[in-house]
Amino acid sequence: MKPARVRRKKRRKGEEDTEQLPAKGPGFHWYIFSLSILLVTAFSFLNFLSLPDARAHSLLSAVLLKRRAAISGDPHSDPAFHGMNDEERIALLKAAEEALQAPLPVVQADQGHEHAALRGGQKPFATSAPGPPAPPEKSAANMALQAVDSLRARSKAVFSAISIPLQLGSGGGIATFSGESWLQLDEAVDADELTFGAWIYVPQIPEMSFPLASESMKTIASTKVSGCSTTNKGWALFMHEWSTTNRQLRLSWTDSVSGCNEIYSESTLVPYDKWVMVGFSLSKARNRASIMLDKQLIVDTQLGLGKYSRQQQTMGIQQAGIDQRILSDSGKILFGAHIMPKATDIAMAHGFIGFMGDTRILAQSTDGAKLVNLLHCEAKDLTSGSPNCGTHTSGLKVLVQHQVKSESINSISGGRLQPRYVKGFNAGEGQSAVPIVKWDAKPAHPMSNDAAALEIESVPGPTLPPEKLSATWPKEWLSRYGKEELMKSQTEADVWAAEVRGAMKHTWDGYRTKAWGHDEVQPNSGRPKDWCRMAVTMLDALSTLWVMGFRQEFEEAAQWLEDSNLPGPGSHGQNSLFEINIRAFAGLLSAYSLSGKRVFLDTARRLGEKLLSAFTSPSGLPLPTIDIGTGKAAMHSWNANTVLAEATTLQVEFRYMSKVTGDSRWQEAADKAMDVVLKAAGQRGLIPIYLSSPNKQAVSFVGSKMSMGAMGDSYYEYLLKLWIQGGKRDVQLKEAWKRAMKEMFDQMVSKTAGGLQFLAELEGGQKRNRMDHLACFVAGMLMLGSRSLPPEEVDARWEPFAADLTYTCYQMYVRTPTGLSPEYVNFNPGSGKGSDMSIPGDAPQNLLRPEAAEAVWYMWYYTGDHKYRQWGHDMFLPFLKYSKVKYGFSAISDVRKRTAPKRDSQESFWLGETLKYFYLIFAPRNTVNLEEFVLNTEAQPLKVFD
């Protein structure tokens, strides 16, 4: 070889070569020579298929690369191919490349059942019957192409013939994982040379049923703490790329740069509802990693199979530095979860959902081709060192074969696999956190029943006959759209209203089943939660149950209140006066306003007596927190000032209480607080969101921040609604609201180059181009004001801006990947359509808020435009897709991720406001008549005064 290389080098330099080279030509002996090489290639490939050794792949690669050289026209390649034209060469090149790129099957030895295609002593193309007369002699090039075509066909036949039987051990037991529990083996199993394998079965379960501990990634086994820190040493094998459900099988490990080095296949994915063996081999000595899925080697860093990424940045597969891997020092391995940094970091468990069979770990690595044989090897062969495993098994450290009605143990060491679970998980009385059940080819997972329950369910409600329905339409609607179009709109909306009723029924049933009488239910886990011990979810939901026609559920809640005598004795803790008022107190008053049932008013009176204790300050402003058990009032622990909205969002409820009881104490206390604020405001319309402490006699504003969002919003809302509630007689309230709207238009209303109108925040005279979801209520408020004030006092800007702001709030939903709005957005005024709104990093969450749905309802209520119903449905459906969980609907941590992480939190306003507004968008217009009722800031309908 060395002289030949020197000779070629001299010729390339143009130096004289005295050696005589053979004349080029397609002599007959060259045809015979080339054909023999091609047949050797074919037989080599078939032999390669039967050899569990990666060197077979290398041999095939070498032969095919020689063929590639011939095709490319290399003058020093086999002369038999010199007669090929370009088309023939390209065809052969494609065939060779296809053979190289095919998945690498490795056939397990099956004594006595060898497939005919794998019998090395038999001619691969022979048949038992005599063949037809020999065809005319063909050119060598055609014979070569025919041979490669046969090779390709033969390889496909071999792939389809491979079938490796499932082996799960003699006990036939399998471990059941629910995403919140795992098995822990307290043994140090990580090693420089490592092989892991496990049988898994992954049922297809809707994402909406995933618990908080298993929202995306499904961990098969791990020795490392979740996260990308280099202190999180070890490895993890899991299904699904982070924040997706893409079914990729991924192997992660830690080196000195990152704890998120990952290799995976983009094309060969873990199947649902099928038993498969998954595993990997890691070798620091050879700087090699391989992943196996069922019968295929799908990733190998040396063979160039698969992909490699570091902290989600894709890199070349050969760049994966296995030799730099840092071993785990945790002294344990988890089957079915990552190790969590802290017990409270539930979302970092990435729990497995499905079943797991026999598992094995060896302190040795193996060639990729031998990996399939080794991991499919029977347990008895593993422990006996049988050659059936294709390699030695002296490094066997862990062998788990689950047994029904028995603890799972490591058969090698005797170590026990201990069931563990996340905080708050309840396996059920007498049940293991990881139950071992009998093996089944198609096991039924307990969460499959949950999945059936999570299907979108429509619950049709009351409808109106055509003649009564048409009587609800204003003349403005009939003149603009006509009776036929309005009837068509209602027919379509009836279907959507049934979907919302289904969501309400699902939410209520979850609360009724898991947290009856408590303040909230955590919808993922089903755990009850209390903050003021006043059954807040029940009270907040009462009017929604009534409006939707759920009379049985309404009556059941009334009976519970009759029996419970709330609020109970003893301390309930210091809690927000504002929240208790708008949710619990208003919920009771609204239920009484709608039904006339005395139990609601009696309960409201007992609660109201406690709330009055907050109005004892020298300024007349209420103290912001109250213990509804003892009546003790106090300041917030986080704020020494008075929050504008908290002091001025009590009056609608307190006035109604005085009206229906004839006791003026509530109205007097609340009106005094509003008067104090109005006096401090003077002739200013917009005012800062903070006032001085209620314990100071003189009241003044603190700071300069002004907002239609958090902490300012409902002050402006109640100026208008108090005027309406009181019969539209209090001129001071009306004029204060009009001044505020004028200054809002002059100072806050902004527009992007892309056409989005929004309400900026003000601080120190400067605009801040961001808007809370909370501020979407302004659109509804403007429509209510425009249609309630005398026509001559209406600003012509109100309704057009209300429509534009509603559109912006709709865009806050439809522009996100999930279709759900974040908590607030930033606006880029100079940017065009599509880039003029962005989600900041500190506000990607959706808390199930109602304000955008509120705006859409008011727009539809007053205009009758069907597009608002379509918008409402567009906004509602993503809640079904991304928020619906087993016991209700969960807040979402990041609306930018389609596998939206859930918070296991469901505020009561989801029932009290959000679902009510969605239902009202689709229900007949007279379901809640705004001539008869005013809605408090929690959407609780209270009758206006005569």
**Which residues does the annotation mark as catalytic?**
579, 713, 823, 851
Among 300, 291, 369, smallest CA distance to 50 is for: 369
Residue owning tokens 């004029």: 735
Q: Are 272 and 251 in contact (CB under 8 A)?
A: no
Report the C-alpha gap between 820 and 818 in whole angstroms: 5
Does residue 95 sit in helix, strand or coil? helix
DSSP annotation string for 300-349: ETTTTBSEEEETTEEE-GGG--GGGPPPP-SS-EEESSPBPSSTT-GGGS
Q: Are 280 and 272 in contact (CB under 8 A)?
A: no
Report the C-alpha gap between 599 and 563 in whole angstroms: 10
Report the C-alpha gap between 653 and 666 in whole angstroms: 9
Does residue 283 sit in helix, strand or coil? strand
798-814 vs 777-788: helix crossing angle, rounded to 10: 160
Give the Å distances, CA to CA, from 776 to 586, 615, 689, 815, 855: 22, 31, 18, 16, 6
Q: Count of CB atoms within 10 A of residue 77's CB? A: 17
Give the Å distances, CA to CA, from 538 to 346, 628, 676, 907: 28, 17, 34, 11
Among 43, 32, 42, smallest CA distance to 79 is for: 32
Cα 420 from chain centre: 24
Report the C-alpha gap between 717 and 785 in whole angstroms: 10
Q: Are 400 and 411 in contact (CB under 8 A)?
A: yes
Q: Count of CB atoms within 10 A of residue 13's CB? A: 7
Q: Are 290 and 196 in contact (CB under 8 A)?
A: no
- For strands 749-751 and 757-759, give the pairing: antiparallel
Output b/e per residue, 913-940; b: 16+ Cβ within 10 A: bbbbbbbbbbbbbebbebeebbbbbbbb
> The sheet that has 633-634: what strands, in order across it?
575-576, 625-626, 633-634
Q: Are 607 and 561 in contact (CB under 8 A)?
A: no
Report the C-alpha gap between 135 and 941 in whole angstroms: 92
* Cis before 567? omega within 30: yes
